[in-house]
Amino acid sequence: MYIIIMILVILAVMLYRRCFPVYGVPHKAIEGKKKYQKAVILDLRDYNISYKNEVEGSVALPIAYLNRNFGDITSRCVHIIVSDRLERNLGVRILRNKGFRVIGFTILP
């Protein structure tokens, strides 16, 4: 009985981290690098997606490499570019756990 409860708790935590929406991060359009003087524009999309639709002045760091290479981000304040809501949820949670402040996000195909 306890094993089933533990498995259900683990599954609930995994679903929460991936799918439950992140609040407090506004959706913003990217208007240029001048607006984000202190913030880094971080492109969390996969390389095969981001090279087709590059954003000028952004740092390309796919979500799969974020835990390993978060030290490459120069500012503690970031604006993220993602391809869907799942990437947004995971990216915001990972960055917040690493001590970054996410000021906004943009969803690009």
CATH classification of the domain holding 38: 3.40.250.10
pTM of the prediction?
0.82
pLDDT of 65 reads: 95
Contact 104, 25 (CB under 8 A): yes
Which residues touch 100 (CB under 8 Å, ≥6 apart)? 70, 73, 76, 77, 78
49-73 tens-digit pLDDT: 988 988 888 899 999 999 999 999 9
Q: Which residues, given as ranges, of the chain have pLDDT below 50?
A: none
CA–CA dist 103, 105 (Å, integer): 7
Residue with tokens 């609040």: 23
The conformation of residue 103, written as its DSSP 8-state character, comes to: E
| Alpha-helix residue ranges (DSSP H) falling in 1-109 | 2-19, 47-50, 66-69, 85-97
The count of structural domains within the chain is 1
pLDDT of 79 reads: 94
Which structural domain range is residue 92 located in? Answer: 2-107
